[in-house]
Structures are given as C-alpha cells and as structure tokens.
Amino acid sequence: MGFAIAIDGPAAAGKGTISKAVAAHFGFAHLDTGLLYRAVGARVLAGVDPIAAARALVAEDLEDAGLRTADVAQAASRVAVIGEVRAALVDFQRAFARRAGGAVLDGRDIGTVICPEAEAKLFVTASAEVRAARRHAELVARGAEAVFETVLAEVKERDARDAGRAEAPMVAALDAVVIDTSDMSIDAAVSAAIAAVEAART
C-alpha cells in the first residue's frame, strides 16, 4: 500500500500550490481532483450530459489548457453537487490514492469521503476576502477584466454551494491538520504542510 496525503480546502486557499510542493518534496504523485470536475464541467458547457461526461472521463481530459477559466470553474462547482457525477469519479481518485510510491490528492472531500483512511490529512483555508484578492490578482495577471466585489461574491457563493451540498460537502476531517494561509507566505504554508506530513509519517 502507498502513503496517501489528502489535502482539502476552499478555492484559492493555496491547496494546489501546497499540494504540488508537498508531492515534489516527498517524491509522490499529485492529483488535483478539482480538474476532474472542471473537465466534466467543460464538457457540460459543450452540451454533454454531466453524468455521461463523468463516466466517459479519461486522464488525457485533465490536460486541457482551457480548464482554468472562470466559466469552467463555476460549471465544475455545479456538476459537483450531482451524486451520480461524484460516484463516477470516486473510483478514479481512490485508485490514484493507493498507487505505489505515494500520492497527494487535493480537493474538497478527499479526507472525508474519497480517502478517509489517508495517512495524512490537511485542510488548507483562508478568509474569503484574502482568497478573492488572490483570485482577482490571478485573473488580472492573465489579462481578464475582473471586479474584486464580483470575485468576492463568486467565492462566497461557491463556498456556500460546496459546503452546503448534500453529497460530500466540503468540511475539514476531524483528524485533519488545519492550515490557515490568510497571513502566511507560500514558503511558510508549504513548510507547515511538510511538517504535518512528517509528523504523520513517524
């Protein structure tokens, strides 16, 4: 059996950056499970039924450069509340978590639903305002027109949808180490995450 690290948290809290750094540090494989839902969301925007899209998903779909747009993000959050979609993607994620050599999975329900037996669990969070500022800066850097107040409203709307859904709501596992990155540098957050994983490995 491999060593699984589950990293959950809301959008723009830094979990993706932290997950990649943790995976690189330990030499583990990394899966951004949000890309699974973004890939399904992208297909839905193209007119495909969400359940059919989820069941037909293949690893190559995660490499689509268009999965990082705001429209796809919103579509991903909408399809993620569909129980049949989540069920179709569970096996893919669980198999990845148990691959030889170790794995890091980041998402919203990894430590609670996908891999509750993960050897290490982290919940990365930050205030809605801080996360909206980060997302706004990303959008502006990419040349997109973005209004902070609109981005903040979207962040809060997505939080409410992700935390309030009946199927696998976003919540910190009882045994997860919570890392609040609101006032932390990237290096400090990564160091805290690595320390938490090291503690779980001993």
Report the alpha-carbon distance of residue 103 to residue 101 in Å, rounded.
7
Instruction: Compute the distance between CA of residue 12 and CA of residue 66 in angstroms, rounded to an integer.
Output: 18
What is the residue-level pLDDT of the chain in tens, covering all 202 positions? 689 999 999 989 999 999 999 999 999 999 998 899 999 999 999 999 999 999 999 888 988 889 988 899 999 989 988 989 989 999 889 989 999 999 999 999 999 999 999 999 999 999 999 999 999 999 999 898 999 999 999 999 999 988 888 878 899 999 999 999 999 999 999 999 999 999 999 8
The whole model's pTM is what? 0.85
- Tokens standing for residue 176: 């997860």
Report the SS3 class of residue 148: helix
